[in-house]
Chains A and B, each alone.
Chain A
Amino acid sequence: MKLNQKQIIRYKRQIDLPEIGEKGQEKLLKARVLIIGTGGLGSPCSLYLAAAGIGTLGIVDSDKVELGNLQRQILHSEDYIDLPKVKSAKDRLSKLNADIKVIPYNIRINKTNIIGILDEYDIVVDCSDNFQTRYLINDACILYGKPLFYGAINQFFGQVTTIFPRESACLRCLFLESSSLNEKLSDQQLGVLGVVPGMIGIIQASEVIKYVLGAGRLLNEKLLIIDILELKFEKLNTHRNNHCIVCGDNPIIKELKDYDQILY
């Protein structure tokens, strides 16, 4: 794939970087990235990946745009309220960059439909907002060997990591599976400042771009935690757990389940 004149002009400022160049831009245009969730994380992540020229972007969401989303979900706008988020996302991303292909999936993923979708992509970005979906994505990426770019937020806090299946720590290696997963949180506990998913979603996008280019240092074996209130950024060390039930040496999970609860 050779870049055309319009592409050379559009992507010039990043092609000028020695880490990218025309070869790197060609890699970005060839990349197939699946973004699950087009909310607070998926908005900035998809906008920057589209702008950077990721050639094929799959976007998954079953929700409709609501007024209460717009405080942080900057992909959407008032004229799309009550319309599917993936329609809003496709229209916006295609307007931003007609050079790329945006494929919408207006579905809630489950153990059956995720496999066929995953098969079409090289890279998965978890921008979802609930633990059932997150653990399903994690397990599917481990079982099917797809690199996973994970981000999560709440209040003023954000967490982001990059998971290389069976090499670096997965969700089940990092987090305790406790009964609080089914706990109902208060409105105060669920509050979020819009810039927090903005920052985490952009870090997810930069991780994807660097992975495609093979440039720089990634967040595998690291968990980056941010605290916007205290303006703290902490890069923590992580390691794959040999006893992990999905990515360990003797895994218990060998096929996907729908996770109403994830305790084993």
Chain B
Amino acid sequence: MNIEVEPRSYLSEFIKDSSNGKILKVSLEDNAKILDVLKIIGIPQEKIHLIIINNMVSSIDSSLKDGDKVIFYPLLMGG
């Protein structure tokens, strides 16, 4: 399956080739999970504080399907 992944805020520092913008196109095995995505794009799990899949706040165990749009946010707790 193919999904789109957008690391937001300072997680975009992990995108090495930003020639195609801030959204990454990622190809995965059919039963892949969020952890597999993180391995492929090279962001350590502990940097992730919020996971959004298709406009729904999701968890690290959430399933993925073809065409999903995934957004990651780092810790954001300033006031």
Contact = CB atoms under 8 A, between A and B. Distances in A.
Interface of A: 37, 39-42, 126-131, 134, 151-155, 157, 159, 169, 174-176, 178-181, 183, 185, 188-190, 192, 197, 223, 225, 227, 234, 236-239, 241
B55 A234 contact: yes
A155 B79 contact: no
B57 A155 contact: no
A249 B79 CA distance: 31
Classify chain B's interface size.
20 to 34
Q: Which of A126, A175, A192 has the most CB of B within 10 A?
A: A175
A236 B55 contact: yes
Contact of B79 (A176, A197, A227, A238): A197
A202 to B, nearest CB: 14
Given A157-B73, A169-B57, A237-B55, A174 B50 contact: yes
A152 B51 contact: no
A176 B49 CA distance: 5
Given A152-B77, A176-B60, 7 more contacts: A131-B75, A152-B76, A152-B79, A153-B79, A176-B50, A178-B46, A236-B56
A209 to B, nearest CB: 20
Interface of B: 8-10, 45-52, 55-57, 59-60, 73-79
A116 to B, nearest CB: 23
A190 B79 contact: no
B77 A134 contact: yes
B50 A175 contact: yes
Contacts of A181: 75
Contacts, number: 87
Contacts of A157: 8-9, 73, 76
Contacts of A37: 79
Contacts of A151: 79
Interface of A is mostly: mixed
Contacts of A39: 79
A179 B50 CA distance: 13
A154 B52 contact: no
Given A189-B10, A227-B8, A236-B55, A180 B75 contact: yes
Contact of B75 (A42, A128, A169, A183): A183
A151 B77 CA distance: 8
A130 to B, nearest CB: 6
A185 B9 CA distance: 13
A226 B12 CA distance: 16
Contacts of B48: 176, 178, 180
Contacts of B50: 159, 174-176
Contact of A130 (B8, B73, B77): B77
